[in-house]
Structure 1
Amino acid sequence: MKMFVEPARIYLHRDAVDFRKSIDGLVALVEGELERDAYTGALFLFCNKAKDKLKLVYWDKTGFALWYKRLEKQKFKWPNKASLQEFELSPEQLDWLLSGYDVLGHEELQYKSMI
């Protein structure tokens, strides 16, 4: 995903969110439920109950930006039975998630020489 900003951190909110919420409602979740400062430049991801839509919200130094993505036939691989309320993702994991891959519960591949 090409972004206009380089987010300091990327957080995925585990629980489904009412998608009638817009920027103010999502920022309230960030600050109230996740107990995070929404003004840090971090990117926060939210998914709907059907897991076919997601919203991203972040502060870009002049205001909040909201991105929305809807899948036509598939569902996002979203954690729903994990014990953590939020997960921190790398930019690469965000790209994978937006491409439909399951990014949680998998370890990075480690390569070593056969010599």
Structure 2
Amino acid sequence: MFNLNDSMRYLLYNRPTDMRKSFHTLSGVITDAMGQDPCNGNVYIFINRARNRIKLLHWEPGGMVLYSKLLEAGTLGKPDSANDNEVCTNIEWRELVMIVEGIMEDRDSRRTRLENLKKLRK
């Protein structure tokens, strides 16, 4: 069953990630760079350099699940708790939702995304 919720642990990889990577190579990043076990039930979050793509890798009973999102416009925000000096940062569920939904402090980027949504509704 595909599901993510607020009872899970979320780890944001603080380095830009090549979005061509998939299950095996992202698992290698988790093991080698983050020092974690990709099969421990945590959700691992990767964002590219342009900050317009995000991938979440998560182990569920039966196998790995990879969630991916490509933004039409604008950029993904970065949580205040993220420390660029650390390889990975624990973030809360609400911070992940804000990143994915485009709720961020950079008003220009948010405005562009919201204007595009308004055009779709017309």
Q: Distance in 1 between matches of 2:100 and 2:73?
A: 14
* Corresponding position: 1:82 with 2:77: no
RMSD value over aligned CA atoms? 2.1
Which residue number in structure 1 is paired with residue 3 of structure 2?
A: 4
Q: Which residue of 2 aligns with 1:13?
A: 13
Matches within 5 A, 1:1-115: 4-6=3-5, 8-78=8-78, 82-102=84-104
User: For structure 1, which runs of at least 5 residues remain unmatched after alignment?
Assistant: 104-115
More helix by share: 2
Q: TM-score, normalised by structure 1?
A: 0.79
Gaps of 5+ in 2: 106-122
Q: CA deviation at 1:85?
A: 1.2
| Number of equivalenced pairs | 101
TM-score using structure 2 length? 0.74
CA contact (8 A) 2:53 2:69 kept: yes
Deviations 1:6-58 (A, max 9, x none): 46310000111111110101011001110001111100000111110010001
Instruction: Indicate the SS of the match to 1:96.
Output: helix
Runs of 4+ in 1 over 4 A off after TM superposition: none
Q: Give the fraction of aligned pairs with identical amino acids, expressed as a percent.
A: 23
